[in-house]
Structure 1
Amino acid sequence: MARPREFDTDTAVEQAMSLFRTQGYHAASMPRLTALLGIGSGSLYAAFGSKDGLYARALKRYCDGLADSLDRELRAGADIRTALRGLLLAMVTADTAAPERGCLLVNATIERAAHDGTVEQVRTAMTAVESVLTEALERARVRGELGGERSPVELARFLTTFVQGVHVMGQARADRAFLESAVAGALRALD
């Protein structure tokens, strides 16, 4: 009979997500992971199957949170420009305050591009973000907030790509003025 698990797997996934986000997959060694989680390697393997299994769970949690929080913010009632400006500037603030923290999605894309499971998770997350943005932009178009014949799908794809660029530039230690200028330029795409 197997012993009951003596640690909370949700807490472990959250803690591992933070370590993977700051250290990356390869630098987050098994000794670092087990020390952070306060468990032995046997317990980690029993709960997650492998380091890859833990990473996949951490990345899923991160990705699920992205689309959900984006959707909540964009439905909060502000016009599309105000909502997007607030979201983008909040990212700028977070990225400039702690550039070493990085974006787990960007890091996964770069560090694990040869790992099919990770690539699929990233693709799924980007599709979800694009979908949330498309829906918000379609609502904005109905309310008359988009200029001309702007395509919500094209704008959503541009913004999805732009967001990842903001995270990369944050990790590259771009200063706040640079990133704020980029945000202003991106928002002009809505005109």
Structure 2
Amino acid sequence: MARPREFDTEVAVEQAMHLFRELGYHATSMPRLTARLGIGTGSLYAAFDSKDGLYARALERYCDGLVAALGQDVRRGPDIRTALYGLLITMAAADTADPEHGCLLVGATTERSADGDTIERVRTTLAAMETVLTAALSVARDRGELRGEHRPEELARFLMTFIQGLRVMGRARAGREFLESAVAGALRALD
């Protein structure tokens, strides 16, 4: 008879997510994982099958949270420009304050591009982000906040690309002034 699990798998996934964000997949060794999670290797394998299994769960949690937060953020503020400015400046501030804790989605894309499951998760997340942004931009256009010739899908794709680039530049320690200037330039696409 198997022993009952003595740790909370959801807490373990959350802790692993933070460690993968900080170190990346390859630099996060099994000893580091088990030390951070406070469990043995056997327990980790019993709960998640492998380091890859735990990474997949951590990436899923991160991506789901990212899409949910984006959905909330684009509805904040009196108009789309204010909401996007707040979102992008908050990202820039977070990245400059703590560049070691980068975006797990960017890390997954760059570090695990050969892993089909990881890339499929990245694609699914980017598609969900595009859907959220397109919907918000469509509403903004209908309210007269964007000129009629703006295509919400194109703007959404531009903003998704910009957001990922912003995260990379933050991790590269570009500096707050640089990132704020980039945000101002990106928002001119809404003019």
Pairwise same-fold verdict (TM > 0.5) = yes
Quick one: which amino acid aligns to residue 112 of structure 1?
A: R
1:147 deviates by 2.2
Partner of 1:54: 54
Partner of 2:68: 68
1:77 deviates by 4.8
Quick one: which amino acid aligns to residue 144 of structure 2?
A: G
Partner of 1:23: 23
The question of whether the paired residues in 1 share the 8 Å contact of 2:141 and 2:148 is answered with no
Task: Give the 3-state SS of the residue equivalent to 2:6 in structure 1.
Answer: coil
Partner of 2:44: 44
Partner of 1:3: 3
CA distance in 2, matches of 1:170, 1:46: 37
CA distance in 2, matches of 1:78, 1:56: 37
Deviation digits for residues 84-104 of structure 1 (CA, Å, limit 9, x no counterpart): 000000000000001111110
CA distance in 1, matches of 2:171, 2:73: 24
Partner of 1:131: 131
1:72 deviates by 1.2
Partner of 1:189: 189
Task: Give the 3-state SS of the residue equivalent to 1:144 in structure 2.
Answer: coil
Deviation digits for residues 103-157 of structure 1 (CA, Å, limit 9, x no counterpart): 1000110000000000001111111111100000000001000024000000000
Partner of 1:177: 177
Unpaired runs of 5+ in structure 1? none
Unpaired runs of 5+ in structure 2? none
CA distance in 1, matches of 2:148, 2:174: 33
Deviation digits for residues 26-49 of structure 1 (CA, Å, limit 9, x no counterpart): 110000000110000000000001
Partner of 2:147: 147
Quick one: which amino acid aligns to residue 55 of structure 2?
A: Y
CA distance in 2, matches of 1:81, 1:188: 10
After TM superposition, which residue ranges in structure 1, 4 or more long, deviate above 6 angstroms? none
Percent identity (aligned): 72
1:76 deviates by 3.2
Partner of 1:109: 109
CA distance in 1, matches of 2:147, 2:186: 14
Equivalent residues in 2 for 1:59-98 (5 A)?
59-98=59-98
Quick one: which amino acid aligns to residue 44 of structure 2?
A: L
Residue correspondences, number: 191
Aligned-residue CA RMSD in angstroms? 0.8
